Chain A
Amino acid sequence: MNKYLLYPGCSMESSAKAYMESLNAIVEPLDLHFEEIEDWNCCGATEYLGINLIPAYSLIARNLALASKQKNPVNGTGGTRTVVAPCSACYLNLAKADHYMQERPALGLKVNEALAAGDLQYKAGTLDVRHLIDILVYDVGLEKIRDAVVRPLTGLKVVPYMGCMLPRPDYQHRWSDHEHPTELDDLLRALGADVIDYPLTTQCCGGHMTQIGPETAFELIRRLVADADERGAQMMVTVCPMCQMNVDAYQNEMNNHFGTDYHMPILFFTQLMGLAFGREPKELGIGAEMVNSRNALANIGVEVPVTQEPAAPRKKDEGLPMPRRWTKHEDRKEAVK
Protein backbone atom coordinates (compact mmCIF):
# COMPACT_ATOMS: atom_id res chain seq x y z
CA MET A 1 0.00 0.00 0.00
CA ASN A 2 1.27 3.44 -0.90
CA LYS A 3 0.87 5.86 1.99
CA TYR A 4 0.99 9.63 1.61
CA LEU A 5 0.38 12.76 3.66
CA LEU A 6 -2.39 14.78 2.08
CA TYR A 7 -2.45 18.56 1.97
CA PRO A 8 -5.93 19.24 0.52
CA GLY A 9 -5.91 23.05 0.39
CA CYS A 10 -8.83 25.39 1.03
CA SER A 11 -10.62 25.14 -2.31
CA MET A 12 -11.02 21.35 -1.93
CA GLU A 13 -13.47 22.13 0.86
CA SER A 14 -15.60 24.56 -1.10
CA SER A 15 -15.37 25.51 -4.78
CA ALA A 16 -13.51 22.33 -5.76
CA LYS A 17 -15.49 19.90 -3.58
CA ALA A 18 -16.01 17.71 -6.64
CA TYR A 19 -12.23 17.22 -6.86
CA MET A 20 -12.15 15.95 -3.25
CA GLU A 21 -15.13 13.66 -3.76
CA SER A 22 -13.66 12.12 -6.88
CA LEU A 23 -10.26 11.82 -5.19
CA ASN A 24 -11.86 9.74 -2.44
CA ALA A 25 -13.46 7.54 -5.08
CA ILE A 26 -10.18 6.57 -6.75
CA VAL A 27 -8.01 5.80 -3.71
CA GLU A 28 -9.53 2.38 -3.10
CA PRO A 29 -9.30 0.95 -6.64
CA LEU A 30 -5.68 2.11 -6.79
CA ASP A 31 -4.79 0.93 -3.28
CA LEU A 32 -3.64 4.34 -2.10
CA HIS A 33 -3.71 5.63 1.44
CA PHE A 34 -3.90 9.36 2.14
CA GLU A 35 -3.51 10.69 5.66
CA GLU A 36 -4.60 14.31 5.95
CA ILE A 37 -2.08 16.68 7.56
CA GLU A 38 -3.70 17.60 10.84
CA ASP A 39 -4.79 21.21 11.29
CA TRP A 40 -3.16 22.37 8.04
CA ASN A 41 -3.58 26.05 7.15
CA CYS A 42 -3.99 27.99 3.89
CA CYS A 43 -0.84 28.25 1.76
CA GLY A 44 -1.48 31.92 1.00
CA ALA A 45 -2.14 31.27 -2.71
CA THR A 46 -0.50 33.99 -4.79
CA GLU A 47 -1.68 36.76 -2.45
CA TYR A 48 0.43 36.56 0.70
CA LEU A 49 3.80 36.49 -1.09
CA GLY A 50 3.31 40.01 -2.38
CA ILE A 51 2.46 41.46 1.02
CA ASN A 52 5.01 40.14 3.50
CA LEU A 53 7.82 37.80 2.63
CA ILE A 54 8.80 36.15 5.93
CA PRO A 55 5.19 35.72 7.16
CA ALA A 56 4.24 34.27 3.76
CA TYR A 57 6.94 31.62 3.90
CA SER A 58 6.27 30.95 7.59
CA LEU A 59 2.59 30.39 6.78
CA ILE A 60 3.53 27.81 4.15
CA ALA A 61 6.24 26.25 6.32
CA ARG A 62 3.85 25.62 9.22
CA ASN A 63 2.24 22.97 7.01
CA LEU A 64 5.60 21.41 6.22
CA ALA A 65 6.48 21.41 9.93
CA LEU A 66 3.17 19.71 10.82
CA ALA A 67 3.71 17.16 8.05
CA SER A 68 7.22 16.33 9.17
CA LYS A 69 5.92 15.73 12.71
CA GLN A 70 3.29 13.40 11.31
CA LYS A 71 5.49 11.45 8.90
CA ASN A 72 6.83 8.98 11.48
CA PRO A 73 5.51 5.44 11.53
CA VAL A 74 2.28 5.14 13.50
CA ASN A 75 0.89 1.79 14.74
CA GLY A 76 3.29 -0.11 12.54
CA THR A 77 1.73 1.20 9.33
CA GLY A 78 5.04 2.53 8.03
CA GLY A 79 5.94 6.19 7.65
CA THR A 80 6.13 8.42 4.63
CA ARG A 81 8.05 11.52 3.65
CA THR A 82 5.83 12.38 0.69
CA VAL A 83 3.30 15.20 0.87
CA VAL A 84 0.63 15.16 -1.83
CA ALA A 85 -1.07 18.37 -2.90
CA PRO A 86 -3.92 18.10 -5.43
CA CYS A 87 -4.04 21.88 -6.01
CA SER A 88 -1.43 23.38 -8.34
CA ALA A 89 -0.95 26.60 -6.34
CA CYS A 90 -0.65 24.71 -3.03
CA TYR A 91 1.80 22.28 -4.64
CA LEU A 92 3.91 25.11 -5.99
CA ASN A 93 3.94 27.06 -2.73
CA LEU A 94 4.91 24.06 -0.60
CA ALA A 95 7.58 22.93 -3.07
CA LYS A 96 8.91 26.46 -3.45
CA ALA A 97 9.14 27.11 0.29
CA ASP A 98 11.05 23.87 0.77
CA HIS A 99 13.37 24.74 -2.13
CA TYR A 100 14.03 28.35 -1.09
CA MET A 101 14.68 27.43 2.54
CA GLN A 102 17.52 25.27 1.21
CA GLU A 103 18.69 27.68 -1.45
CA ARG A 104 18.85 30.65 0.93
CA PRO A 105 19.78 29.45 4.42
CA ALA A 106 19.17 32.99 5.76
CA LEU A 107 15.51 32.70 4.75
CA GLY A 108 15.33 29.22 6.26
CA LEU A 109 16.73 30.50 9.56
CA LYS A 110 14.20 33.31 9.81
CA VAL A 111 11.30 31.04 8.92
CA ASN A 112 12.39 28.56 11.56
CA GLU A 113 12.72 31.35 14.09
CA ALA A 114 9.11 32.30 13.39
CA LEU A 115 7.98 28.66 13.55
CA ALA A 116 9.69 28.34 16.93
CA ALA A 117 7.20 30.86 18.32
CA GLY A 118 4.59 28.13 17.76
CA ASP A 119 6.90 25.32 18.97
CA LEU A 120 7.45 24.03 15.44
CA GLN A 121 10.54 23.39 13.31
CA TYR A 122 11.09 22.32 9.73
CA LYS A 123 14.36 21.07 8.30
CA ALA A 124 14.24 21.92 4.60
CA GLY A 125 14.64 18.97 2.28
CA THR A 126 13.22 16.35 4.65
CA LEU A 127 9.91 16.06 2.81
CA ASP A 128 9.05 15.35 -0.83
CA VAL A 129 6.28 17.63 -2.05
CA ARG A 130 4.43 16.18 -5.03
CA HIS A 131 1.24 16.77 -6.97
CA LEU A 132 -1.50 14.16 -7.17
CA ILE A 133 -1.04 13.48 -10.88
CA ASP A 134 2.70 12.95 -10.36
CA ILE A 135 1.85 10.23 -7.80
CA LEU A 136 -0.69 8.61 -10.12
CA VAL A 137 1.50 8.56 -13.22
CA TYR A 138 4.88 7.81 -11.65
CA ASP A 139 4.12 5.87 -8.42
CA VAL A 140 0.91 4.03 -9.23
CA GLY A 141 1.75 3.77 -12.93
CA LEU A 142 -0.34 3.84 -16.07
CA GLU A 143 -0.39 0.03 -16.23
CA LYS A 144 -2.23 -0.29 -12.92
CA ILE A 145 -4.60 2.52 -13.88
CA ARG A 146 -5.39 0.81 -17.19
CA ASP A 147 -6.09 -2.43 -15.31
CA ALA A 148 -8.62 -0.69 -13.06
CA VAL A 149 -10.66 0.64 -16.00
CA VAL A 150 -14.03 -1.11 -16.34
CA ARG A 151 -15.78 1.52 -18.47
CA PRO A 152 -13.30 2.86 -21.05
CA LEU A 153 -14.00 6.45 -22.07
CA THR A 154 -13.85 5.54 -25.75
CA GLY A 155 -15.27 8.24 -27.96
CA LEU A 156 -15.05 11.06 -25.43
CA LYS A 157 -13.07 13.84 -27.08
CA VAL A 158 -11.10 15.73 -24.43
CA VAL A 159 -8.35 18.33 -24.29
CA PRO A 160 -5.91 17.93 -21.39
CA TYR A 161 -5.46 21.25 -19.59
CA MET A 162 -2.52 21.20 -17.18
CA GLY A 163 -2.52 24.87 -16.26
CA CYS A 164 0.57 26.94 -15.60
CA MET A 165 1.63 26.51 -11.98
CA LEU A 166 1.98 22.76 -11.97
CA PRO A 167 4.79 22.18 -14.47
CA ARG A 168 6.49 25.53 -13.80
CA PRO A 169 8.98 26.45 -12.45
CA ASP A 170 9.67 22.77 -11.72
CA TYR A 171 12.42 23.02 -9.09
CA GLN A 172 12.25 19.26 -8.55
CA HIS A 173 12.44 18.28 -12.25
CA ARG A 174 9.34 16.16 -11.97
CA TRP A 175 7.66 16.84 -15.30
CA SER A 176 8.31 15.69 -18.83
CA ASP A 177 8.38 19.28 -20.09
CA HIS A 178 7.86 22.83 -18.76
CA GLU A 179 5.64 23.99 -21.56
CA HIS A 180 4.03 20.87 -22.91
CA PRO A 181 4.05 18.11 -20.30
CA THR A 182 2.36 14.89 -21.42
CA GLU A 183 1.46 13.30 -18.07
CA LEU A 184 -2.21 14.27 -18.24
CA ASP A 185 -2.46 13.19 -21.91
CA ASP A 186 -1.00 9.78 -21.06
CA LEU A 187 -3.31 9.30 -18.10
CA LEU A 188 -6.43 10.20 -20.09
CA ARG A 189 -5.33 7.89 -22.89
CA ALA A 190 -4.95 5.09 -20.35
CA LEU A 191 -8.62 5.66 -19.46
CA GLY A 192 -9.51 5.17 -23.13
CA ALA A 193 -10.45 8.79 -23.85
CA ASP A 194 -9.91 10.36 -27.26
CA VAL A 195 -7.18 12.86 -26.36
CA ILE A 196 -6.85 15.88 -28.63
CA ASP A 197 -3.50 17.64 -28.87
CA TYR A 198 -3.84 20.97 -27.06
CA PRO A 199 -0.95 23.41 -27.46
CA LEU A 200 -2.44 25.75 -24.84
CA THR A 201 -2.23 23.06 -22.17
CA THR A 202 -0.02 25.14 -19.86
CA GLN A 203 -1.41 28.59 -20.67
CA CYS A 204 -2.69 30.59 -17.72
CA CYS A 205 -6.43 30.72 -16.90
CA GLY A 206 -6.07 34.20 -15.40
CA GLY A 207 -5.68 33.15 -11.76
CA HIS A 208 -6.95 35.86 -9.43
CA MET A 209 -7.49 38.32 -12.30
CA THR A 210 -11.18 37.30 -12.45
CA GLN A 211 -11.47 39.22 -9.17
CA ILE A 212 -9.32 42.24 -9.87
CA GLY A 213 -9.13 42.79 -13.61
CA PRO A 214 -11.93 40.76 -15.17
CA GLU A 215 -11.22 41.92 -18.75
CA THR A 216 -7.69 40.58 -18.54
CA ALA A 217 -8.97 37.24 -17.24
CA PHE A 218 -11.82 36.97 -19.77
CA GLU A 219 -9.36 37.19 -22.65
CA LEU A 220 -7.25 34.36 -21.22
CA ILE A 221 -10.34 32.20 -20.63
CA ARG A 222 -11.59 32.96 -24.15
CA ARG A 223 -8.34 31.78 -25.74
CA LEU A 224 -8.44 28.50 -23.84
CA VAL A 225 -12.09 27.73 -24.56
CA ALA A 226 -12.04 28.92 -28.18
CA ASP A 227 -9.04 26.77 -29.02
CA ALA A 228 -10.50 23.69 -27.32
CA ASP A 229 -13.74 24.28 -29.23
CA GLU A 230 -11.98 24.70 -32.57
CA ARG A 231 -10.19 21.42 -32.06
CA GLY A 232 -13.50 19.66 -31.62
CA ALA A 233 -13.19 18.93 -27.91
CA GLN A 234 -16.34 17.94 -26.03
CA MET A 235 -14.72 18.72 -22.72
CA MET A 236 -11.63 20.18 -21.06
CA VAL A 237 -9.95 18.18 -18.30
CA THR A 238 -8.02 19.91 -15.55
CA VAL A 239 -5.79 19.10 -12.58
CA CYS A 240 -6.23 22.45 -10.77
CA PRO A 241 -9.11 23.95 -8.72
CA MET A 242 -8.33 27.49 -9.85
CA CYS A 243 -8.35 26.52 -13.55
CA GLN A 244 -11.63 24.67 -13.09
CA MET A 245 -13.18 27.62 -11.28
CA ASN A 246 -12.10 30.21 -13.84
CA VAL A 247 -12.90 28.33 -17.03
CA ASP A 248 -16.14 26.86 -15.65
CA ALA A 249 -17.73 29.48 -13.42
CA TYR A 250 -16.61 32.52 -15.44
CA GLN A 251 -17.32 31.04 -18.87
CA ASN A 252 -20.74 32.62 -18.91
CA GLU A 253 -19.36 36.06 -17.96
CA MET A 254 -16.72 35.63 -20.65
CA ASN A 255 -19.42 34.81 -23.22
CA ASN A 256 -21.33 37.92 -22.18
CA HIS A 257 -18.23 40.03 -22.45
CA PHE A 258 -17.27 38.96 -25.96
CA GLY A 259 -20.75 38.17 -27.25
CA THR A 260 -19.73 34.54 -27.83
CA ASP A 261 -21.65 31.38 -27.09
CA TYR A 262 -19.23 28.72 -25.92
CA HIS A 263 -20.37 25.77 -23.88
CA MET A 264 -17.26 23.89 -22.84
CA PRO A 265 -17.55 21.78 -19.70
CA ILE A 266 -14.40 21.37 -17.63
CA LEU A 267 -14.02 18.44 -15.22
CA PHE A 268 -11.25 17.28 -12.92
CA PHE A 269 -9.17 14.35 -14.20
CA THR A 270 -10.11 12.41 -11.06
CA GLN A 271 -13.79 12.64 -12.04
CA LEU A 272 -13.01 10.97 -15.38
CA MET A 273 -10.91 8.36 -13.60
CA GLY A 274 -13.84 7.62 -11.31
CA LEU A 275 -16.17 7.21 -14.30
CA ALA A 276 -13.69 4.90 -16.01
CA PHE A 277 -13.43 2.87 -12.79
CA GLY A 278 -17.20 2.37 -12.94
CA ARG A 279 -18.31 4.87 -10.29
CA GLU A 280 -21.56 6.78 -10.57
CA PRO A 281 -21.52 10.48 -11.57
CA LYS A 282 -23.05 11.67 -8.31
CA GLU A 283 -20.33 9.98 -6.23
CA LEU A 284 -17.80 12.00 -8.22
CA GLY A 285 -19.33 15.41 -7.79
CA ILE A 286 -20.40 15.51 -11.45
CA GLY A 287 -23.21 18.02 -11.81
CA ALA A 288 -21.52 20.61 -9.58
CA GLU A 289 -19.89 22.23 -12.60
CA MET A 290 -21.53 25.43 -13.85
CA VAL A 291 -21.21 24.50 -17.54
CA ASN A 292 -22.84 21.11 -17.32
CA SER A 293 -21.15 18.07 -18.79
CA ARG A 294 -24.36 16.11 -19.43
CA ASN A 295 -24.17 16.19 -23.24
CA ALA A 296 -20.47 15.42 -23.32
CA LEU A 297 -20.83 12.43 -21.01
CA ALA A 298 -23.82 11.11 -22.96
CA ASN A 299 -21.25 10.25 -25.66
CA ILE A 300 -19.88 7.50 -23.44
CA GLY A 301 -23.26 6.38 -22.21
CA VAL A 302 -23.04 8.07 -18.83
CA GLU A 303 -26.31 9.57 -17.72
CA VAL A 304 -25.96 12.62 -15.52
CA PRO A 305 -29.12 13.33 -13.55
CA VAL A 306 -30.61 16.76 -14.22
CA THR A 307 -29.90 19.12 -11.35
CA GLN A 308 -31.58 22.43 -10.81
CA GLU A 309 -29.82 25.02 -12.92
CA PRO A 310 -29.39 28.56 -11.62
CA ALA A 311 -31.50 31.34 -13.08
CA ALA A 312 -30.78 32.23 -16.70
CA PRO A 313 -27.88 34.66 -17.06
CA ARG A 314 -28.64 38.30 -17.45
CA LYS A 315 -28.25 39.79 -20.89
CA LYS A 316 -25.03 41.61 -21.66
CA ASP A 317 -24.83 44.61 -19.35
CA GLU A 318 -23.92 47.07 -22.07
CA GLY A 319 -24.91 50.31 -20.33
CA LEU A 320 -23.04 49.74 -17.08
CA PRO A 321 -19.74 51.52 -16.48
CA MET A 322 -16.63 49.38 -16.54
CA PRO A 323 -14.23 49.30 -13.56
CA ARG A 324 -11.69 52.03 -13.23
CA ARG A 325 -8.96 50.37 -15.26
CA TRP A 326 -8.75 47.74 -17.95
CA THR A 327 -11.11 49.53 -20.24
CA LYS A 328 -8.58 50.35 -22.91
CA HIS A 329 -9.07 47.00 -24.62
CA GLU A 330 -12.78 47.24 -24.82
CA ASP A 331 -12.57 47.35 -28.58
CA ARG A 332 -11.36 43.74 -28.38
CA LYS A 333 -14.98 42.76 -28.01
CA GLU A 334 -15.57 44.07 -31.48
CA ALA A 335 -12.44 42.44 -32.86
CA VAL A 336 -13.55 39.03 -31.66
CA LYS A 337 -17.00 39.20 -33.13
Chain B
Amino acid sequence: MDDRGHAEQRLVWFGCGTEAMMPQMTDERVRAGLSHEEDLSLLHEVSMKTAGVSRLEMCIQCGTCGGSCPVAKDMDHTPRMLFAMLRAGMREEVLRSNTQWICVSCYHCVVRCPQEVHIADVMYTLKGMAIKAKLYANSTAPDFSQTFVDMVESYGRSFEMGLASRHYLKHFPLRLPGMMPMGLGMITKGRMALTPKRIKHMDQLTKILNRAKQLEMTS
Protein backbone atom coordinates (compact mmCIF):
# COMPACT_ATOMS: atom_id res chain seq x y z
CA MET B 1 0.00 0.00 0.00
CA ASP B 2 1.56 3.26 -1.07
CA ASP B 3 -0.37 5.41 1.38
CA ARG B 4 1.91 4.70 4.27
CA GLY B 5 5.13 6.37 3.27
CA HIS B 6 7.04 6.09 6.48
CA ALA B 7 6.24 2.39 6.81
CA GLU B 8 9.09 2.11 4.38
CA GLN B 9 11.50 3.98 6.57
CA ARG B 10 13.61 1.56 8.47
CA LEU B 11 15.49 2.52 11.52
CA VAL B 12 18.59 0.49 12.06
CA TRP B 13 18.36 -0.31 15.68
CA PHE B 14 21.56 -0.64 17.64
CA GLY B 15 19.82 -1.76 20.83
CA CYS B 16 22.34 -1.31 23.59
CA GLY B 17 22.14 -3.90 26.33
CA THR B 18 19.86 -6.08 24.27
CA GLU B 19 21.18 -9.36 25.56
CA ALA B 20 19.89 -8.56 29.00
CA MET B 21 16.57 -7.16 27.87
CA MET B 22 15.69 -9.36 24.94
CA PRO B 23 13.82 -12.60 25.42
CA GLN B 24 15.49 -15.78 24.21
CA MET B 25 15.73 -16.42 20.50
CA THR B 26 13.54 -19.29 19.36
CA ASP B 27 15.13 -22.55 18.31
CA GLU B 28 13.66 -22.21 14.84
CA ARG B 29 15.29 -18.87 14.34
CA VAL B 30 18.63 -20.09 15.58
CA ARG B 31 18.37 -23.12 13.25
CA ALA B 32 17.44 -20.85 10.38
CA GLY B 33 20.62 -18.89 11.04
CA LEU B 34 18.71 -15.72 11.73
CA SER B 35 20.13 -15.11 15.16
CA HIS B 36 22.60 -12.43 14.14
CA GLU B 37 20.68 -10.38 11.66
CA GLU B 38 17.48 -8.45 11.72
CA ASP B 39 14.43 -9.84 10.01
CA LEU B 40 11.87 -7.09 9.92
CA SER B 41 9.23 -8.99 7.97
CA LEU B 42 7.05 -9.69 11.01
CA LEU B 43 7.32 -6.09 12.16
CA HIS B 44 6.20 -4.92 8.73
CA GLU B 45 3.40 -7.44 8.57
CA VAL B 46 1.98 -6.17 11.86
CA SER B 47 2.46 -2.58 10.79
CA MET B 48 0.67 -3.08 7.47
CA LYS B 49 -2.26 -4.86 9.10
CA THR B 50 -2.81 -2.00 11.54
CA ALA B 51 -5.54 0.60 10.95
CA GLY B 52 -4.21 4.09 10.44
CA VAL B 53 -0.48 4.64 10.13
CA SER B 54 1.10 2.59 12.91
CA ARG B 55 4.66 4.04 12.84
CA LEU B 56 5.68 0.80 14.53
CA GLU B 57 8.99 0.85 12.64
CA MET B 58 9.87 4.08 14.41
CA CYS B 59 10.01 2.59 17.93
CA ILE B 60 13.25 3.57 19.66
CA GLN B 61 12.78 1.22 22.65
CA CYS B 62 12.58 4.05 25.18
CA GLY B 63 10.03 2.24 27.34
CA THR B 64 7.71 5.23 27.83
CA CYS B 65 4.78 2.97 26.85
CA GLY B 66 5.30 0.42 29.61
CA GLY B 67 6.11 3.17 32.09
CA SER B 68 2.79 4.89 31.34
CA CYS B 69 0.68 1.75 31.25
CA PRO B 70 -1.77 1.43 34.18
CA VAL B 71 -1.88 -2.38 33.81
CA ALA B 72 1.73 -3.14 32.83
CA LYS B 73 2.32 -5.14 36.00
CA ASP B 74 -0.20 -7.77 34.85
CA MET B 75 1.36 -8.09 31.39
CA ASP B 76 3.74 -10.86 30.29
CA HIS B 77 5.72 -8.28 28.31
CA THR B 78 5.58 -4.51 28.27
CA PRO B 79 4.70 -3.04 24.85
CA ARG B 80 8.36 -2.04 24.40
CA MET B 81 9.51 -5.59 24.88
CA LEU B 82 6.77 -6.91 22.62
CA PHE B 83 7.94 -4.58 19.84
CA ALA B 84 11.54 -5.77 20.31
CA MET B 85 10.22 -9.32 19.94
CA LEU B 86 8.40 -8.35 16.73
CA ARG B 87 11.65 -6.95 15.41
CA ALA B 88 13.32 -10.25 16.26
CA GLY B 89 10.64 -12.13 14.33
CA MET B 90 9.38 -14.03 17.38
CA ARG B 91 5.92 -14.58 15.97
CA GLU B 92 4.68 -17.30 18.27
CA GLU B 93 5.94 -15.73 21.50
CA VAL B 94 4.36 -12.41 20.56
CA LEU B 95 0.99 -13.92 19.66
CA ARG B 96 0.97 -16.03 22.82
CA SER B 97 1.68 -13.05 25.05
CA ASN B 98 -1.15 -11.87 27.30
CA THR B 99 -0.08 -8.26 26.74
CA GLN B 100 -2.54 -7.42 23.96
CA TRP B 101 -5.40 -8.92 26.00
CA ILE B 102 -4.53 -7.00 29.17
CA CYS B 103 -4.34 -3.69 27.26
CA VAL B 104 -7.32 -1.56 28.36
CA SER B 105 -7.20 0.80 25.33
CA CYS B 106 -6.61 3.90 27.47
CA TYR B 107 -4.20 5.42 24.91
CA HIS B 108 -1.86 6.67 27.61
CA CYS B 109 1.11 5.13 25.79
CA VAL B 110 -0.09 6.53 22.47
CA VAL B 111 -0.13 10.16 23.56
CA ARG B 112 3.18 9.87 25.40
CA CYS B 113 5.16 7.94 22.76
CA PRO B 114 7.89 10.29 21.48
CA GLN B 115 7.80 8.49 18.12
CA GLU B 116 4.01 8.65 17.84
CA VAL B 117 3.64 4.90 17.47
CA HIS B 118 -0.08 3.97 17.53
CA ILE B 119 0.45 1.34 20.20
CA ALA B 120 -3.23 0.75 21.02
CA ASP B 121 -4.01 0.00 17.38
CA VAL B 122 -1.03 -2.35 17.16
CA MET B 123 -2.52 -4.19 20.15
CA TYR B 124 -5.79 -4.63 18.21
CA THR B 125 -3.81 -6.02 15.27
CA LEU B 126 -2.01 -8.48 17.54
CA LYS B 127 -5.34 -9.63 19.00
CA GLY B 128 -6.69 -10.31 15.53
CA MET B 129 -3.52 -12.16 14.50
CA ALA B 130 -3.50 -14.23 17.69
CA ILE B 131 -7.13 -15.26 17.16
CA LYS B 132 -6.53 -16.20 13.52
CA ALA B 133 -3.43 -18.22 14.45
CA LYS B 134 -5.34 -19.73 17.41
CA LEU B 135 -2.46 -18.68 19.61
CA TYR B 136 -3.45 -16.76 22.63
CA ALA B 137 -2.80 -16.55 26.29
CA ASN B 138 -4.98 -18.55 28.62
CA SER B 139 -7.42 -15.71 28.71
CA THR B 140 -11.18 -15.32 28.51
CA ALA B 141 -10.73 -12.04 26.64
CA PRO B 142 -10.90 -13.37 23.05
CA ASP B 143 -14.05 -15.23 23.93
CA PHE B 144 -15.59 -12.13 25.48
CA SER B 145 -14.84 -10.12 22.34
CA GLN B 146 -16.33 -12.87 20.18
CA THR B 147 -19.51 -13.01 22.29
CA PHE B 148 -19.83 -9.24 22.02
CA VAL B 149 -19.37 -9.40 18.24
CA ASP B 150 -21.97 -12.20 17.99
CA MET B 151 -24.52 -10.00 19.79
CA VAL B 152 -23.80 -7.05 17.51
CA GLU B 153 -24.00 -9.24 14.42
CA SER B 154 -27.39 -10.63 15.46
CA TYR B 155 -29.05 -7.48 16.80
CA GLY B 156 -27.02 -4.51 15.57
CA ARG B 157 -26.81 -3.29 19.15
CA SER B 158 -24.96 -4.59 22.16
CA PHE B 159 -26.97 -6.49 24.76
CA GLU B 160 -25.26 -6.02 28.12
CA MET B 161 -27.43 -8.40 30.09
CA GLY B 162 -26.99 -11.25 27.62
CA LEU B 163 -23.30 -10.57 27.25
CA ALA B 164 -22.46 -10.40 30.95
CA SER B 165 -24.59 -13.36 31.97
CA ARG B 166 -23.39 -15.57 29.13
CA HIS B 167 -19.76 -14.69 29.81
CA TYR B 168 -19.93 -15.16 33.58
CA LEU B 169 -21.86 -18.39 33.24
CA LYS B 170 -19.22 -19.77 30.91
CA HIS B 171 -16.05 -18.54 32.60
CA PHE B 172 -16.73 -17.57 36.21
CA PRO B 173 -19.76 -19.68 37.27
CA LEU B 174 -18.56 -19.63 40.87
CA ARG B 175 -18.60 -15.87 40.90
CA LEU B 176 -22.24 -15.72 39.85
CA PRO B 177 -23.76 -15.95 43.35
CA GLY B 178 -21.54 -13.08 44.47
CA MET B 179 -22.62 -11.02 41.47
CA MET B 180 -26.33 -11.57 42.03
CA PRO B 181 -26.96 -8.50 44.26
CA MET B 182 -25.36 -6.28 41.66
CA GLY B 183 -27.22 -7.89 38.77
CA LEU B 184 -30.54 -7.68 40.59
CA GLY B 185 -29.82 -4.10 41.60
CA MET B 186 -29.13 -3.16 37.99
CA ILE B 187 -32.37 -4.81 36.90
CA THR B 188 -34.53 -3.24 39.64
CA LYS B 189 -33.02 0.15 38.88
CA GLY B 190 -33.96 -0.28 35.23
CA ARG B 191 -30.35 -0.37 34.08
CA MET B 192 -30.41 -3.78 32.43
CA ALA B 193 -32.72 -4.56 29.55
CA LEU B 194 -33.86 -8.15 29.76
CA THR B 195 -34.38 -8.49 26.03
CA PRO B 196 -32.11 -7.35 23.22
CA LYS B 197 -33.04 -4.45 20.98
CA ARG B 198 -32.75 -5.08 17.25
CA ILE B 199 -32.11 -2.33 14.71
CA LYS B 200 -34.66 -1.86 11.91
CA HIS B 201 -32.44 -2.57 8.94
CA MET B 202 -30.56 -5.56 10.26
CA ASP B 203 -30.45 -7.05 6.73
CA GLN B 204 -28.57 -3.98 5.51
CA LEU B 205 -26.00 -4.26 8.30
CA THR B 206 -25.57 -7.98 7.64
CA LYS B 207 -24.90 -7.33 3.94
CA ILE B 208 -22.31 -4.69 4.83
CA LEU B 209 -20.55 -6.92 7.34
CA ASN B 210 -20.54 -9.92 4.99
CA ARG B 211 -18.99 -7.87 2.21
CA ALA B 212 -16.48 -6.43 4.70
CA LYS B 213 -15.48 -9.93 5.75
CA GLN B 214 -14.84 -10.91 2.12
CA LEU B 215 -12.69 -7.82 1.70
CA GLU B 216 -10.76 -8.70 4.87
CA MET B 217 -9.94 -12.16 3.49
CA THR B 218 -8.51 -10.82 0.24
CA SER B 219 -6.31 -8.22 1.91
A323 contacts B171, CB within 8 Å?
A: yes
Q: Separation in Å of the B30 CB from the closest CB of chain A? A: 30
Binds A, one of B9-17, B31-39, B88-96, B156-164: B156-164
- How far does the alpha carbon of A208 sit from the alpha carbon of B51 in the complex, in Å? 21
Main secondary structure of the interface of A (DSSP, over half): loop
Whether the pair B205, A206 counts as a contact (CB closer than 8 A) is no
Docked-complex contact A213 and B102, CB < 8 angstroms = yes
Given contacts A52-B128, A165-B105, A324-B138, contact A249 B186 (CB under 8 A): yes
Interface size on A, residues (CB 8 A): 92
B158, A42: Cβ atoms closer than 8 Å: yes
Chain A nearest CB, measured from B132 CB (Å): 10
Interface presence of A298 (CB below 8 A): no
Taking CB atoms, residues of chain A closer than 8 Å to B186 are 15, 249, 290
Evaluate whether A44 and B212 lie within 8 angstroms (CB atoms) in the complex, with A104-B3, A164-B106 already known: no
Residues of B within 8 A of A212 (CB): 101, 139-141, 144, 167, 171
Inter-chain CB contacts under 8 Å: number: 265
Given A10-B157, A107-B51, verify A55-B212 contact (CB < 8 Å): yes
Whether B134 is near chain A, meaning CB under 8 Å from some CB there, is no
Measured CB to CB, the closest approach of chain B to A65, in angstroms, equals 9
- A253 to B177: give the CA distance in the assembly, Å: 12
Asked if A28 lies at the interface with its beta carbon under 8 angstroms from chain B, I say no
| Contact in complex: B167, A211 (CB < 8 Å) | yes
User: For the complex, is A280 an interface residue (Cβ under 8 Å from B)?
Assistant: no
Taken together as a complex, chains A and B put the C-alpha atoms of A178 and B137 apart, in Å, by: 32
Given the interface pairs A47-B144, A48-B152, A216-B74, the reply to whether A117 lies near B207 with Cβ below 8 Å is yes
A325 at the interface (CB under 8 A from B): yes
Known: A17-B191, A110-B215. A62 touches B104 (CB 8 A): no
Besides A59-B205, A169-B120, A208-B104, 17 other A-B contacts (C-beta < 8 A): A17-B190, A18-B191, A44-B149, A50-B100, A50-B131, A52-B212, A52-B213, A53-B125, A59-B208, A100-B51, A100-B52, A106-B3, A118-B207, A119-B204, A204-B71, A256-B178, A314-B178
